[in-house]
Amino acid sequence: MSAKTYEFKTETARLLELMIHSLYSNSDVFLRELISNASDALDKRRFASVTDKELATSNELRVRLETDSEARTLTIIDNGIGMSRDEVVANIGTIAKSGTKEFAELLKSKDKLEDRPDLIGQFGVGFYSSFLVANNVVLITRKAGEDTATRWESSGTGDYTIDDAERDEAGTTIILSLKDVDKDDGIQDYTDSWVVQALVRKYSDFVSYPIVMDKETPAEEEGGEPTISEETLNSQKAIWTRSASDVSEEDYNEFYKHISRDWVDPIKRISTSIEGTIEAKALLFIPKKAPFDLYQRDMSKRGVQLYVKRVFIMEDCEELLPSYLRFIKGVVDSEDLPLNVSREVLQQNRQVRAIQKHLVKKLVAAIVSMRKDDWDNYQAFWTEFGPALKEGLLMGPEQNNKLLDVVVAESTKSDSGLRSLADYVENMSEGREEIYYLTGTSMDTLRKSPHLETFKEKGIEVLLFTDPVDEIWLQQNLKYQEKSFVSASHGELKLNDESSDDDDDSKNDDERSKELEALLSLLQSKLDDDIKEVRLSKRLTSSAACLVTDTGDMSPQMEQLMRASGQSMPPTKRILEVSGEHPVIKSLEALVESDAENAKLADYAQLLHGQALLAEGGQLSDPAGFAGLVAGLMVSAAANG
């Protein structure tokens, strides 16, 4: 049969023209596309030969790459299923059987190169990515079981020719006549063996068939001939597809180090498969150490790589896991996603959302299991990644219910080490419904906080939190095992279920408040610019005073976070609570009764407020003024004593 020339359909020709004029954001992926096509052809031949032995080959199924720097060609050869002449016309002569028009319109709508989608594989036009780097493409193919081969050729202008050809065995050969190197357009020298090897290892390392290429070794003796040997470029070790019983722990650790560029073994490995309407496999790792940029706003790398049928798609696929799990490393290999999907498509893809939901469930379950069964490792893990995980508590009820089980914190009943919420609830007294907590910037300051005095006296455990995110998630009205989170420094404290003398205590408090009414009123007048109210405290047993945030008001830590984010926040007035039994308060009470107009009362009020602020780790608005008041008090005390 003689050669015949065909014209591309108008729609297909327009699409090809758009592609050739650099509408694809990364020219390098042409090799990934062609190797992926070759791998599919090898799969088809292997499967077909199971039922039809005549289609089998005695040669190893593989992909071979050949370069010619003088002719400037790159050749991709496989011994897969091949194509008949009719199949060439149907599959190669027409770009995509559906979606071509939509794809062309999408490409035209993107003015900037970085906005252009990587969608070639999705629309069935992966073969035509060849024209991103080639001026002319020749395809020679022979279908397994047939004697005749077919030759297809095009320069990507407006037509292509088909002719009979010869090929020794079934399979496909693609010869690319390469464009000149143009770094501005992202076109490298694809006749350079190092460039080709790097692309194979980046994009096709886990293709299950060997990808081979000749390697030249210089002669050992001067004047000798160099040695040419065939080298396999890809590892073929899609380790996530193998049974765990067939892979050693050492192999898993080496794989982790390969993909993460970490030198320390991971703390935990999670393997999982998704089957049914969606098929995917994942091999994920929890590192031992957090990366240096884990808590920076624009973290440089996430860590989960996306593969489609063992073909590399993207390195940091943030759509596969929520941001609070950004420290997870590993791979996800989908059987259903199209090649070259863009991030825009991933964000809108229901399959990706389903994969993410499955991965989150498995990861959180694994973390909870580590908390229950491997406590020493868990404490080390929490120190590294706890703040990131707690960010997930800001993402809605579905995440909260899962993540609260992983939360641990120091507490007033653990001088060192961490306590889980489950441990806290298990040790609560019967009838109590509150999980008490205290937030701050320093653990040492929290442990000495006057807010904890009555809790310690009554033996009530309080959890201590120092991460900035704690201030936010703890105010989300969350519940754990139907128990509410209540701040030890917010609102009026009521511990009615912890004592059998509650009624008597309440009567005594009311009587003492009346006795202190004059002092409380005077302190209020002297501190009116700084505080909302002065009242008798139920928190204090040894300190003279403390500052309390009113229910519904913003805490000082939250104000600081808001200001750090660039928001202008007016200071919130807080409540000053005083201990009616403290010597300082009794002395002030006596002074007010004897000389309510004493000028020193204003100084004493400022000193009382300042020491309450310092006791909780706060900052004075006028440190020099406060120091002057303290110095004056010392002089007066020395003179009188």
CATH number at residue 400: 3.40.50.11260
Residues 6 or more apart in contact with residue 277 via CB below 8 angstroms: none
Q: Are 393 and 476 in contact (CB under 8 A)?
A: yes
The whole-number pLDDT of residue 13 equals 67
Is 379 inside a domain boundary?
no
Question: Are 153 and 254 contained in the same domain?
Answer: no
Is 384 inside a domain boundary?
no
Q: Are 118 and 342 in contact (CB under 8 A)?
A: yes
Question: Are 49 and 145 contained in the same domain?
Answer: yes
The whole-number pLDDT of residue 4 equals 86
Enclosing H/E stretch for 215:
strand 211-217
Residue percentage of the chain with pLDDT more than 90:
51
Q: Are 8 and 159 in contact (CB under 8 A)?
A: yes
Order the strands of the 268-274 sheet from edge to edge.
Answer: 268-274, 280-286, 329-334, 304-308, 311-314
438 backbone dihedrals φ, ψ, rounded to 5°: -140, 135
- Per residue in 330-359, pLDDT (tens digit) is 999 998 887 766 777 787 788 899 999 999
pLDDT at 119 over 60: no
Enclosing H/E stretch for 95:
none
Q: Please say which residue of 211, 232, 253 terminates a domain.
A: 232
Cite the DSSP H helix spans in 236-326. 249-260
Question: Are 542 and 513 contained in the same domain?
Answer: yes
- pLDDT tier for residue 497 given thresholds of 50, 70 and 90: very low
Helices 30-51 and 193-203: angle between axes, nearest 10 degrees? 60
Question: Are 17 and 62 contained in the same domain?
Answer: yes
Cα(590)–Cα(604) distance, integer angstroms: 13
Is 378 inside a domain boundary?
no
Q: Please say which residue of 187, 216, 232 terminates a domain.
A: 232
Is 331 inside a domain boundary?
yes
Enclosing H/E stretch for 284:
strand 280-286
Nearest to 494 by CA among 555, 552, 432: 432
Q: And the tokens for 483?
A: 């128990």
Question: Are 183 and 290 contained in the same domain?
Answer: no
- Per residue in 238-260, pLDDT (tens digit) is 899 888 888 889 889 888 887 88
Cα(199)–Cα(28) distance, integer angstroms: 7
Nearest to 267 by CA among 183, 385, 348: 385
The whole-number pLDDT of residue 3 equals 82
Is 311 inside a domain boundary?
yes
The whole-number pLDDT of residue 455 equals 93
- Per residue in 269-328, pLDDT (tens digit) is 999 999 988 899 999 999 999 888 888 766 656 689 898 888 888 888 889 999 999 999
Is 385 inside a domain boundary?
no
Question: Are 530 and 494 contained in the same domain?
Answer: no
Question: Are 297 and 256 contained in the same domain?
Answer: yes
Question: Are 227 and 299 contained in the same domain?
Answer: no
Q: And the tokens for 597?
A: 């107009």
- pLDDT tier for residue 22 given thresholds of 50, 70 and 90: very low
Q: Are 462 and 418 in contact (CB under 8 A)?
A: no
- pLDDT tier for residue 100 given thresholds of 50, 70 and 90: very low
Other beta carbons within 10 angstroms of residue 465's beta carbon come to 22
Structural domain of residue 305, as residue ranges? 239-368
Cite the DSSP H helix spans in 307-439. 343-348, 350-373, 375-390, 397-403, 421-426
Q: Based on C-alpha coordinates, what's the Rg of the chain?
A: 36
- pLDDT tier for residue 29 given thresholds of 50, 70 and 90: confident
Domain count, the chain: 4
Cα(67)–Cα(536) distance, integer angstroms: 87
- CA quadruple 50, 51, 57, 63: dihedral positive or negative? negative
> Residues 439-466: what's their mean pLDDT?
93
CATH number for the domain that contains residue 291: 3.30.230.80
Residues 6 or more apart in contact with residue 45 via CB below 8 angstroms: 55, 57, 61, 79, 80, 81, 82, 144, 170
Distance set, CA 570 to CA 491, 556, 563 (Å): 20, 11, 10
Question: Are 271 and 340 contained in the same domain?
Answer: yes
- pLDDT tier for residue 21 given thresholds of 50, 70 and 90: low
Question: Are 24 and 131 contained in the same domain?
Answer: yes
Q: Are 278 and 355 in contact (CB under 8 A)?
A: yes
At position 338, the amino acid (one-letter code) is P
Is 243 inside a domain boundary?
yes
CATH number for the domain that contains residue 100: 3.30.565.10
Question: Are 61 and 108 contained in the same domain?
Answer: yes
The whole-number pLDDT of residue 112 equals 46
> Residues 37-41: what's their mean pLDDT?
88
Q: Please say which residue of 319, 334, 368 terminates a domain.
A: 368
Nearest to 603 by CA among 574, 573, 632: 632
Is 380 inside a domain boundary?
no
CATH number for the domain that contains residue 570: 1.20.120.790
Distance set, CA 200 to CA 35, 236, 594 (Å): 9, 11, 91
- Per residue in 543-569, pLDDT (tens digit) is 999 999 998 888 888 888 787 777 777
pTM exceeding the 0.75 threshold for the entire prediction: no
Range with lowest mean pLDDT among 39-43, 94-98, 539-543, 561-565: 94-98
pLDDT at 501 over 70: no
Question: Are 271 and 399 contained in the same domain?
Answer: no
Nearest to 523 by CA among 458, 476, 474, 588: 588
